[in-house]
Structure 1
Amino acid sequence: MKTKMKRSNCTKCHYPVTTCVCDYVTKKVNNRTKIVVLQHPDEVNLAKNTVRLLQLQLSDIQVVIGESENDFASVLNDLPKESTALLYPGKDTIDVYNCSALAPKLTHLVVIDGTWKKTNKIYALNPCLHTLQKISFSTIPENQYRIRKAEQSYSLSTLEAVGHFINIVDGCDNQPLLHLLNGMIEQQTKFMPGHVKARYFEE
């Protein structure tokens, strides 16, 4: 009986050695606003998940894995409510371009990482999120994350959404993040047959 060989992972980026992204990691992005990611468990081991990339590149990020109120309570209860916002679409949101007018200035941004269905479930299961001021984008850049199908026309990957936020609010250059994202896409698609790869990159 044959046993399946376990793939060896890079000790720095934690991707399989064959798709290591370390060559695409440039200088740290020094974000002023702390990013707190509430990550659905199903996203953790997905090769195409972008939170892992944010952890490699951002200077101030915290990732908490879970779904229910019990999973996130200890983190969310410690956040300064008056200077924390949730990145989430809907009514009564503040446009990201108006965040500079907030007083006090934001110190923390909560981001939910998962599919739309799972993101909405996490929001529903955590009432404390409903008390946070919400931020959304009136306009978004073109989605560059072509290897994972967007569920909505206005969707961005978590990396792109966070990068867009810190670019506007913190004045950070988000190009290192996009460079890393494109590097990950290149690594993930390099072993694909040509006709399969073409599906992702066709205009």
Structure 2
Amino acid sequence: MSRPLCPRCTRPLNQCFCQSLSEETACMDLVILQHPTETRHPLNTARILELGIKNCSIFIGENFEDNAELLAALKGRKTYLLFPGDHAITSDEALEQGKPEVLIVLDGTWRKAKKIYFTNLWLQALPCIALKDLPASNYRIRKAPGKESLSTLEATVALLREAVNDPQAHEPLLNAFDQMINQQINAMGQSTYQKNYQRNHQKNNPPSAT
């Protein structure tokens, strides 16, 4: 018998994070291009962004060249891609030129995100933003390739905070994220977490010197 799910966040009812989440408006429109495999992942952080940010839209797929709805929404608007491409400029350099009207974020594993990027020529023509000062990731239960790896949610919030010069902006999003992570750790048990994830997280996020 399947577990009852929350109709809003689609998490099991005993792991629902909706009470931690209040809807806000970001300083720029967010467009998330999500790889289809990510929609099935139980720890889908783009879902938190979609629920917590009024001006956030998700488009699912790999090739968006013929997506008329998406391309029409971007036409004539100052659009940047949050992606550390070869010709990316740092976030502070980009923001000195004024806030984007639209920020595009790729959602998927690093390999899947690169596939979306190289499949869509129009994406490669956009100016890319790379975060200058990467915060430590709290994505403790998903194995990441390196310390520079952030979840879609964490990277987006980091850029939004820099854009409004407020290190506490959109805190409810990260609260919901932390709640989801803690619930998942409790569900799997501490022994499983320590065996499979904790060492990798500590390696990628060493404690700061005091």
Same fold (TM over 0.5): yes
Give the gaps of 5 or more residues in structure 1: none
| Counterpart for residue 117 of structure 1 | 111
How far did residue 165 of structure 1 move? 0.7
| Counterpart for residue 91 of structure 1 | 86
- CA–CA distance in 2 between the matches of 1:166 and 1:15? 26
Out of 17, 20, 35, which is 1:40 matched to?
A: 35
Higher mean displacement: 193-202 or 60-69? 193-202
| Counterpart for residue 154 of structure 1 | 148
Deviation by residue 1:101-147 (Cα, 9 ceiling, x = unmatched): 215x4100011101111111111110000111110012200011111
How far did residue 61 of structure 1 move? 0.2
Report if the CA contact (8 A) 2:80-2:100 is conserved.
yes
One-letter amino acid matched to 1:164: A
- CA–CA distance in 1 between the matches of 2:85 and 2:174? 26
Out of 15, 19, 34, which is 2:15 matched to?
A: 19
- CA–CA distance in 1 between the matches of 2:45 and 2:91? 21
3-state SS of 1:191 partner: helix
- CA–CA distance in 2 between the matches of 1:82 and 1:194? 47
| Counterpart for residue 51 of structure 1 | 46
| Counterpart for residue 174 of structure 1 | 170
Indicate yes or no: 2:30 matched with 1:7: no
| Counterpart for residue 135 of structure 1 | 129
Q: Number of matched residues?
A: 197
* Percent identity between the two aligned chains: 35
Indicate yes or no: 2:170 matched with 1:185: no
Superposition TM-score, scaled by structure 2 size? 0.85
How far did residue 14 of structure 1 move? 1.6
| Counterpart for residue 126 of structure 1 | 120
Report if the CA contact (8 A) 1:29-1:176 is conserved.
no
How far did residue 18 of structure 1 move? 2.5
Give the gaps of 5 or more residues in structure 2: 203-210
